[in-house]
A and B are shown apart, each in its own frame.
Chain A
Amino acid sequence: MSFVPHDQADRQHMLETIGIQDEEELFATIPQNLRLTQRLKIPGPLDEENIRRIPQGQFSHVCFAGGGIYRHHIPAMVDALANRQEFYTSYTPYQPEISQGVLQSIFEFQSMMAALTGMYVSNASLYDGATALAEAALMAIRAKQIKRVLVTRATNPRFRSVLKTYLDNTGVKLQEIPFDMASGQVERFSLERLNGEDAALFVQNPNFFGILEPMDCIAKFARQSAFWGIVVSEAVSLGLLKRPGDYGPDCVVGEAQSFGNPPNAGGPLLGFMCTTKEHLRRMPGRVVGLTKDSRGRQAFCLTLATREQHIRREKATSNICTNEGLCAIRAALYLAAMGPRGLRAVATQCVAGAHQILQLIQQVGRQPVFKGPFFHEFVVQLDADKRKALEDDGIIPGVPIEYYYPEIKNGLLVAVTEMNTREDWKCLLENL
């Protein structure tokens, strides 16, 4: 019933080699009072067909949900290659001589992420965008002994929530910078009063509402703070927008699920961190470097390991060990499959679609909540009953955001990607 390959004769032979009569003797070191005397109360064993018969939910085909997790086209070759056993059944590549596949793939991931963000270096991945932001804040604390972390309130609320959890025991204060209710961009007045010498500042762009922040202006003020970072929650935006690194931040962190990883009911996701040469040795997580083997051939291995927990223990740059390796390999495969024009074309489809659909929505009398320029998401108001009725019909019109932003009554964040067909938007418009 399990995946144990032995028969009774094998077991007998093994017991004889060990020199015992009964398998029970192997467990003699477990005190009797700590032994479980009854069978575990869990179901099974089930055969594969019975497992397959367990009911599953049908996903809604008409889906305009985003908010940090996006549906994008994934080229078939991504699955074909990522599902190879050499990638998905291997361990962390600690033994480089038999791990060149994972190592070089991650090196290529790092290279492409650094190129797309315009930063010096990328790590090999973090859990998700939220923990990547939290790790960036911890890095800022190590780098500059800051007293405050400032984050724009239009940064993904889930990211801010995790950031708060991570900062709770550091003695560093978390403050939010409000957004302007008209434009959806960061409130300029608050930005001008930052006084960030003792603070790290983080800005998400495009922000949670899909709005493009005035990055040139933000960068001007951000440079006065001790440390600043740009948060990217929709990695596809890197295919079209100015590179975040060009604004001169200390780090660019975020979520790269959009690169070849399906929504998967919430995860796994793909956190990333890119940073400058100055902060390289403070960067959390693994990193792959190029080197040579004993015969002078190009090879790859994990490097800068002395930053990590297995060597520096309580003084490590992070506690992270297992990361999201396979998701990073998927991202490398995706970016390779898309190429420079492909990624730009996808981003263009997203932007064009969102603007065209909003125009049609405006024609049926609904106005967007914010007037600022936007990427591929926008906020409208739709009352909860109407939304639920749509959801019951298998149409997900967007992600409700009133829970996070009570001031936006019935706020609905609508995301458009290249996966939304012509039928989808007809369907949405007819039912709004």
Chain B
Amino acid sequence: MPARESIDHSLEILEPLLITHSRPGRNKHILPDPFKPCVPDELLPFMNPEEVRLPDVAEVETVRHFTRLARMNFGVDQGMYPLGSCTMKYNPKICENIAERIRNIHSSDKHPMHMVLRALAALQRYLEEICGMDACCLWPAAGAHGELTGMLVVKKAFQTRGEDRSVVLIPDTAHGTNPASCAIAGFTTRNIPSGPRGFLEAATVKAHLDKDVAALMITNPNTLGIFEQEIHEIAELLHANGSYLYMDGANLNAILGISRPGDMGVDCLHVNLHKTFGTPHGGGGPGGGPVLVQSELERFLPIPRIVHVPRELFTLSYSFPDSIGMVQSTLGNVSVLLKAIVYIIRLGPKGLLEASRTAVLNANYLKARLKDHFDLPYATPTLHEFVLTDKRQKEQGISTMDMAKALMDFGFHPPTVYFPLVVSGAMMIEPTETEPLSELDRFADAMLTIAEEAAQYPQALHDKPELTPVTRVDEVYAARSLCLTWDMLESKDDGAVSK
């Protein structure tokens, strides 16, 4: 009888877990000790009699451990990171620099908070102007959090109207967060197909509209990089039906200063500061997902709101009775918000326009260099990103995954793969505006080399990558043998899991 796979203890280890460096007494960090370290007797019953289980490691070993780990990781400062719809652009250093200023401010420290709120109020105005919207809430901590906030606003608007609408339409090109956010906000979702040219057609929307439809969630440009050309007609159809148009701003980097969601008829959207406005992604956050709405929906925005008493201070107000309530403990990821402000004023209106125009130029340049060698599923012109597939290479048994992994050996992060779901074997490429021509060419050359290899020596591609810290990682083994902490690794030593 086959036993569940258990962790193989003969694995070669590149960088041991920190706990393996641990010996009692090795950590000699000196702490501030302004107080006589005595715990009152009445607290003794609440205390843990044992020492907490943390590694006891010398500072130099800890520093080297994490330095070695860092060197096993790829970052934007190292090279091109063309993840489609993720907008991995260069993160300007001045933004980090300025954000450090608020490091020691406690959110209850009123005087410096006044200056912080003044800056945040400015960011709200800039985002409103960039998006053509009337009001803004900065607190959502990431894109999906912004989506949820926006959909809660929509839900509340219907409740206030006395209507119980439960359906949100979502095109098949949407991010998975869209339906998931709708579900938490109490909606059911209905998938609708995008048209043969890669954008959503007004006729399709019309066919799905009824009095149960609360909203349509659209990403524009969509995840194929195609501008939703019928968005204005779609907005009018929705509005005539009493429904709202929600826009996922993940791809806003294509249209800064060129076209504004508000002018398209969007009622509510979120933007991703960690995509469009140059704040670093931090290996998975913290991000920033501000929500913008038209005036009709403003009163439902989360509390607190920043209010400016003329000739006085910027303060926070909780007196908005129609608000959906709070969505985050305090003010969201404030230091991320500050980085976004610095990014915006560092570039100014001309810089933002140049950024978007160049993002589109770079993507189209790459597409031009690659389109004769890979399958391009849609002929419709694209903006800041485009999608290729593995259809041609599949004939030699080479998949998108093989090509993505092969790119790593050329010193690139792979594009987004197997998304959007409407395209089989998708590779979604977004170079962003900050990639120099030389790097774009290097990437295109690498892709062409891989295409050549796929045709000539396909077998070799299955073994890629070879030059990375680890070779192809076994995700099936991870899921079957589930080891998620040091303790689980130790408890597997005695082979307790095999039957």
Contacts and interface: CB of A to CB of B under 8 A. Distances in A.
A421 B27 contact: no
A227 B426 CA distance: 42
Contacts of B115: 55-57
A131 interface: yes
B284 A322 contact: yes
Interface stretch (A91-99, A195-203, A361-369): A91-99
A175 B74 CA distance: 47
Contacts of B484: 107, 110, 114, 121-122, 287-290, 303
B69 A104 contact: yes
Sorting the interface of chain A by its residue count into under 10, 10 to 19, 20 to 34 or 35 or more gives 35 or more
Given A127-B142, A336-B57, A14 B107 contact: no
A60 B358 contact: no
Contacts of B413: 91, 95, 98
B333 A291 contact: no
Contacts of A4: 354-355, 358, 433-434
Interface string A24-42: 0011111101111001111
A59 B105 contact: yes
A40 B352 contact: yes
Given A159-B329, A301-B475, A60 B349 contact: no
A291 B473 contact: yes
Nearest to A423: B34
Given A3-B433, A322-B284, A131 B141 contact: yes
B322 interface: no
Interface stretch (A72-80, A144-152, A186-194, A377-385): A72-80
A17 B370 CA distance: 11
B66 interface: yes
Contacts of B31: 73, 338, 342, 345-346, 349, 418
Contacts of A321: 142-144, 175-177
A314 B182 contact: yes
B344 interface: yes
Given A90-B283, A267-B335, A352 B37 contact: yes
A168 B46 contact: no
A86 B475 contact: no
A40 B130 contact: yes
A5 B434 contact: yes
A156 B329 CA distance: 9
Contacts of B234: none
A129 interface: yes
B258 interface: yes
A48 B282 CA distance: 23
A121 to B, nearest CB: 5
Interface string A54-72: 1111111001010111010
B194 to A, nearest CB: 14
Given A88-B280, A289-B482, A314 B33 contact: no
Interface in B40-55: 40, 42-43, 46-48, 51-55
Sorting the interface of chain B by its residue count into under 10, 10 to 19, 20 to 34 or 35 or more gives 35 or more
A211 to B, nearest CB: 11
Interface in A306-332: 308-316, 318-327, 329
A82 B33 CA distance: 25
A373 interface: yes
Interface string A383-405: 00000000110101001000100
Interface string B280-323: 11111111000000000000001000000000000000100000
Contacts of B7: 290
A239 interface: yes
Contact of B281 (A86, A90, A287, A337): A90
Nearest to B227: A29
B11 interface: yes
A166 interface: yes
A52 B110 CA distance: 22
Interface string B348-392: 111111110110111011001100000000001101000000000
A94 B260 CA distance: 31
A164 B334 CA distance: 23
Given A46-B346, A59-B109, A338-B27, A97 B408 contact: yes
Interface stretch (B237-245, B450-458, B485-493): B485-493
Interface in B10-43: 10-15, 17-19, 26-27, 29, 31-40, 42-43
B235 to A, nearest CB: 10
Contacts of A95: 74, 404, 408, 413-414
Contacts of B437: 5-6, 10, 13-14
Contacts of B497: none
A322 B143 contact: yes
Nearest to B116: A265
A297 to B, nearest CB: 5
Per CB-CB distance, the 7 closest pairs between chain A and chain B, nearest first, are A44-B348, A57-B112, A169-B186, A325-B284, A101-B73, A326-B282, A339-B27
Given A40-B352, A52-B97, A241-B48, 8 more contacts: A4-B433, A40-B256, A57-B114, A69-B106, A121-B484, A295-B470, A326-B280, A373-B46
6 contacts: A26-B364, A57-B113, A58-B112, A128-B330, A294-B471, A311-B176
